[in-house]
Amino acid sequence: MIDTHCHLDLYPKPSEVIREAVKRGVYVIAVTTTPLAWEGNLRLVGEASRIRVAVGLHPELVAQRENEVELLCRLVPKSKYVGEVGMDGSPQNRPSLGAQREVLATVLNACRKAGGRVISLHSRLAVTPVLDEIERAGAIGKPILHWFSGTERELQRAVALGCWFSVGPAMLSTRKGRSLLAQMPLERLLTETDGPFGRLGEQSLHPWDVSQCMPELASAFRLSIQDVEALLRQNFRHLVTIP
C-alpha cells in the first residue's frame, strides 16, 4: 500500500498513525504545509524507512507565509520530496493567487536547479496556471497532481506535460473523479489519502485506507486488484527514481 500524499503531522496523534503505518508496511510520502515543519516531521518519522518526508508550503497559507519561500528553497536541495505546493483558486484564496503563482514559480525553479524532485501539487480551481508554471519551469523532476479536479482538456494537457496523478478514496467516491481516473495514464497513477483532510463519510482517512480505492481502480482499468497493486508498486518504484 502506498499513500503519496498524507499530512501525517496533522492527525491528533501522529505517532500512533506512524506506528500503525509501519506495522502495516505502508509507504507514505508525508507532505508538509510549511517548511518550518520539515525537520520536526523528519524527527517524528525517525527510522521508519517507508515513510518519506516532503518539504512544502501549502498554497492556502501563502497569504500569511509568503516569506517562508526562502526557507523552502533552501531546503529543496536537501529533500528528494517536495510538497504540498501549488495553487488554490477557491474564493477565499483568490486574493493571494498572484503571490501563490510567484511562490510556485520560485519553488519549481529550485526543484529544477536541484536536479529534479518528486513534487506533490495542489491545483484546486487553478489547474491551468499550475500547468503553465510546470511548463515554464522545464525539467523539474516528477510533478504529481494530487486529487486532480480539473477539466478533461486540462487533464490531457497535464498528461502531455508528463504529470503523474495521485487519486484516493475521497476523489473516487464522486462520479467526476471516477470519470477523470479512466483517462489517466496507468503508468503514472499513484494512490493517496490526503488524510486527515481527506475523509470518507465522517471518518478521516489514514494511510492504509488507500486500499479502499482498489475496487474503483480495478474496475476503471479492467484489472484484478492484485494486478492493480503490483502496478502501483511498480509506478512508485519508477517515481522515486530521479530524474
Nearer to Mn ion, 32 or 229 (CB): 32
Closest approach of Mn ion to the CB of residue 48, in Å: 20
Q: What count of Cα atoms within 13 Å lies in the side-chain half-sphere of residue 166?
A: 28
Q: Which CA distances in Å does 88 have to 59, 103, 238?
A: 6, 12, 28
How far apart are the C-alpha atoms of 154 and 139, rounded to whole Å? Answer: 20
Nearer to Mn ion, 38 or 229 (CB): 38
Residues in binding contact with Mn ion, number by CB under 5 A: 2
Edge-to-edge strand ranges of the sheet holding 189-191: 81-86, 117-122, 141-146, 164-167, 189-191
Closest approach of Mn ion to the CB of residue 56, in Å: 9
Instruction: Please give the radius of gyration of the chain, using alpha carbons only, rounded to the nearest integer.
Output: 16
Chain residues 175-194 in contact with Mn ion, contact rule CB under 5 A: 194
How far apart are the C-alpha atoms of 93 and 61, rounded to whole Å? Answer: 9
Nearer to Mn ion, 194 or 216 (CB): 194
Nearer to Mn ion, 88 or 194 (CB): 194
Closest approach of Mn ion to the CB of residue 186, in Å: 23
Nearer to Mn ion, 84 or 229 (CB): 84
Closest approach of Mn ion to the CB of residue 240, in Å: 19
- Using CB under 5 A as the binding rule, whether residue 3 contacts Mn ion is answered as no
Residue nearest to Mn ion (CB): 194
Q: Which CA distances in Å does 220 have to 11, 20, 179, 194, 201?
A: 31, 29, 9, 21, 22
Nearer to Mn ion, 122 or 229 (CB): 122
How far apart are the C-alpha atoms of 227 and 207, rounded to whole Å? Answer: 20
Chain residues 27-86 in contact with Mn ion, contact rule CB under 5 A: 84
Interacting residues toward Mn ion by CB under 5 A? 84, 194
